[in-house]
Chain A
């Protein structure tokens, strides 16, 4: 168990910057910047400190399975000999960064399999519910489900990655009243019970998004992964104001009304991303509380990183396993479970913020959901900043309409050739012509989505689906429409310009450039993330 600080965790904080405020940490890819924000008109939003994890996570899991939430029987009552059981679980994109062993999925899957064994269930399949993400490698699967489960099921071919392009492996279960197709893995559809094992790192995850998206394919996803839906998703982290979730929930209702029985298990984790002690712990401390040891480790880290090659830096960061702890587990009926999950996620993430700002600043870290053990290419930089971080709000966006977003990231012109082949073509062919999500959707999406080569790489190699870079761009559609300008500090100038954003060498330059859009003496809000926080803007 990770070590805990002796005092109670403090809630998030909105700090008004004054002259005594030390320079603030900006993540900058596989590095960091310390930036001084203008006093008297800047504020910094700090995340809450990590909530304590459950003292007995295995006990809590067993308890959740035996005492389900909502209209559901206990798991053991749903299991019987001769049944077809499918256990689906979240893929490599969760949590971020990967967590220290044992992964939550391992704990839960072992608990579920114990009950299944007791009930005499022989036909069990385990599926990594990755939708159109890349397939997980053996070490990644082993890390997620544990060696015991992997060795028991993978050799027989009953532990595998979801294949949304398998012509014989997908079925259409129906259509929503809005004409949205509901597509799902055939194995799941034919099962007597689907147990979904989730890790909720942000409030966007879970609910019907688990099964209706994770086990689905392009034919269903295109109904909500599109520019129009994403523009009306305000935000994707606030289910009640998210068109994306409304669409998912409609698809979920079709699943619910079919014969498919789903037992949803959702978990929440704290935001102990970098640990309470150890070399990275300084990254989740407030700057004025950095002890001499923190400062020394930060300086050592900076010096060491500068001396490394880009690849070595990436390897160092990607090898970090977060000491996340489970803060809650709930199981049973999908919607009732998800409501509880959201409540628990918000307990950790929500920070009340009064009013919007002219300029929002953020430092983008080395990782996003789509570059685990991979490269954060420029499209993913856009997706992380405008898709994820911009949308980490409830109520209103942190930055006012027509305001400026300043992000810090090196934005290298670099792509992982195995993981992101369609991204390379998207960057060269599509972005050179248009940055408009609707235009690219109409003109290019189908071509990329149905490209046989991309399909082949998705199914047999470890490539994201051909359509995936479009989805990344759509993810930022709401921000693109809302913002007056986007500036990237310290990024590769050519990459930044290709994205349609403005490059700046320093934060001061960026702030100066931003005044052309928002006027002189603008208000500035720095979003101090990660660890994750979500602004509740009133």
Chain B
């Protein structure tokens, strides 16, 4: 007797509907239309920075986002005192695990930066259609950032906004972590910092990956920790690559600080033994295994049984 193994098929319920209920397929011999000019990196977000849109966003942040984040992520915020010396616009650069990172940071970054904050969003994801772009721009003050290359348009727009006094929240990793470990930083944040002579505030976000990691649709409420680092600026003659490395190291030190304590993290930073954010160079399962190691080793109960 032989058994036939059937390949599991992903069900696409809409695919069975007749056109025009489902999207049309493109004939093989034709070039698909170029993307809508008001989508992707070309999406014009200026309207979302108008007073009306800002007022709407302010109300949304206070009335909806903040309670929702408290409920889902119970954030613990540390290091805000490091921003005391910060004056004027800044670039906030954070590691990225989850879609929750942005609302969490928007509700965490203090005034006066919060009300004048724009968020870099992937042009190919958040601005793939005008409707998505409009929602992202209105609710998150997002502006499109090209992930594949640092396009002149993105950089010019970001620089223009910094010059106008807006602060920028950006994820130098370029996207959410696929497996919970950090990804190498791209140089966009450092370049902007140098070009506009604006400090970069490193931020480490911990815990949001557990709540809503990439690929999940529904959040699993848990705790999170946000640690702000001291603003970083390019030294005299420092190159962008070097500044970017310093920024990445700062975030890694904050990660260390979040999982240990400030003193241990400082010691390891000076000794050059800060644990890297991008995990071991190993196969996928071993990376996942290593990621969860700390938790497995932790005693489940830290208080005595009565």
The chain A residues found within 8 Å of chain B, CB to CB, are: 6-7, 13, 15-18, 20-23, 34, 286-290, 292, 294-295, 298-299
Per the bound structure, the CA–CA distance linking A317 and B33 in Å amounts to 29
Per the bound structure, the CA–CA distance linking A23 and B26 in Å amounts to 11
Are B19 and A16 in contact, CB atoms less than 8 angstroms apart?
Answer: no
13 contacts between A and B (CB under 8 A): A7-B37, A15-B27, A15-B30, A17-B27, A18-B29, A20-B28, A22-B19, A23-B19, A34-B19, A289-B24, A289-B32, A295-B20, A299-B21
Given A7-B34, A289-B33, CB of A295 within 8 Å of CB of B27: no
Per the bound structure, the CA–CA distance linking A286 and B26 in Å amounts to 10
Q: Chain B residues near A23 (CB, 8 Å)? A: 18-19
Q: Chain A residues near B21 (CB, 8 Å)? A: 295, 299
Q: Chain B residues near A7 (CB, 8 Å)? A: 34, 37
Are B20 and A20 in contact, CB atoms less than 8 angstroms apart?
Answer: no
Per the bound structure, the CA–CA distance linking A204 and B216 in Å amounts to 63
Within 8 A of A (CB), among B22-56: 23-30, 32-34, 37
Q: Chain B residues near A34 (CB, 8 Å)? A: 19-20
Per the bound structure, the CA–CA distance linking A292 and B36 in Å amounts to 13
Q: Chain A residues near B30 (CB, 8 Å)? A: 13, 15, 286, 288
Are A6 and B37 in contact, CB atoms less than 8 angstroms apart?
Answer: yes
Q: Give the number of chain B interface residues (Cβ < 8 Å).
A: 16
Are B19 and A20 in contact, CB atoms less than 8 angstroms apart?
Answer: no
Are A288 and B34 in contact, CB atoms less than 8 angstroms apart?
Answer: no
Contact of B27 among A6, A20, A292 (CB under 8 A): A20
Are B29 and A15 in contact, CB atoms less than 8 angstroms apart?
Answer: yes
Contact of A18 among B19, B20, B23, B27 (CB under 8 A): B27
Q: Chain B residues near A22 (CB, 8 Å)? A: 19, 24-25, 27
Per the bound structure, the CA–CA distance linking A7 and B42 in Å amounts to 14
Are B29 and A16 in contact, CB atoms less than 8 angstroms apart?
Answer: yes
Q: Chain B residues near A20 (CB, 8 Å)? A: 25-28
Are A288 and B29 in contact, CB atoms less than 8 angstroms apart?
Answer: no
* A5 CB, nearest partner CB in chain B, Å: 9
Per the bound structure, the CA–CA distance linking A21 and B27 in Å amounts to 4
* B295 CB, nearest partner CB in chain A, Å: 43
Q: Chain A residues near B25 (CB, 8 Å)? A: 20-22, 288
Given A6-B37, A7-B34, CB of A299 within 8 Å of CB of B29: no
Q: Chain A residues near B34 (CB, 8 Å)? A: 7
* B104 CB, nearest partner CB in chain A, Å: 31
Q: Chain B residues near A290 (CB, 8 Å)? A: 20, 24
Are A18 and B26 in contact, CB atoms less than 8 angstroms apart?
Answer: no
Task: Among B20, B32, B33, find the residue whose CB has the most chain A CB atoms closer than 10 A.
Answer: B20
Please name the 4 residue pairs, one residue from A and one from B, whose CB atoms are nearest each other, closest first.
A22-B24, A295-B20, A21-B27, A20-B25
- The residue on B at minimum CB distance from A296 is B20
Given A6-B37, A7-B34, A289-B33, CB of A299 within 8 Å of CB of B27: no
* A292 CB, nearest partner CB in chain B, Å: 7
- The residue on A at minimum CB distance from B25 is A20
Are A18 and B28 in contact, CB atoms less than 8 angstroms apart?
Answer: yes
Per the bound structure, the CA–CA distance linking A7 and B37 in Å amounts to 9
Within 8 A of A (CB), among B203-221: none
Per the bound structure, the CA–CA distance linking A140 and B20 in Å amounts to 37
